Amino acid sequence: MRPTPPGSPIPKNLRRLRLAAGLTQAQLAELSDVTDATLSRIERGRFAPSQDLLRRLAHAVGATESDLVARVNTTKKPSLKPAEARLIAAVRGWDEAAIDDLVRGVKLIAGASVRSGTPQRKPTSRRGPGSR
């Protein structure tokens, strides 16, 4: 087993791209035809993937090999919330018509909720009783 060279961007890029795709390590491992343990080792920098494995990983997360090896400023917040990424992962592979139907359905549900007076969900407060 060969460790990833120090300072290699592959571990962080792989994790970032996997999360952006809404995939768990187990899901990505299955899509890439590797074990969960191997994928975990890659993300921790304990194993350097071969060129073939790098290609399979990139394809599975919808990226290029260059995206995995590029040095990227990752201090920027991800553009998607985890819940949004999961939703995108759930509909990945759907055709445009099916996605349009889903969007229309969500809009109908949201509209019915507003018309019926059902309160919209609001974030819960973490403050204790009696605090303002």
Q: Which of 110, 21, 19 is nearest to 62 (CA)?
A: 21
Residues 25 and 46 in one domain: yes
Predicted pLDDT at 13: 93
Residues 107 and 65 in one domain: no
CATH of the domain at 14: 1.10.260.40
Over the stretch 39-88, which tens digit does the pLDDT of each residue have? 999 999 999 999 999 999 999 999 999 889 888 665 556 677 778 878 88
Residues 61 and 93 in one domain: no
Residue 11: both structure tokens together:
């571990």
Predicted pLDDT at 122: 55
Residues 41 and 86 in one domain: no
Averaged over 87-116, what is the pLDDT?
87
Residues 53 and 104 in one domain: no
pTM as predicted? 0.55
Percent of the chain, pLDDT > 90?
A: 48
Residues 21 and 61 in one domain: yes
Q: Tell whether 126 is covered by a domain.
A: no
CB 39 within 8 A of CB 31: no
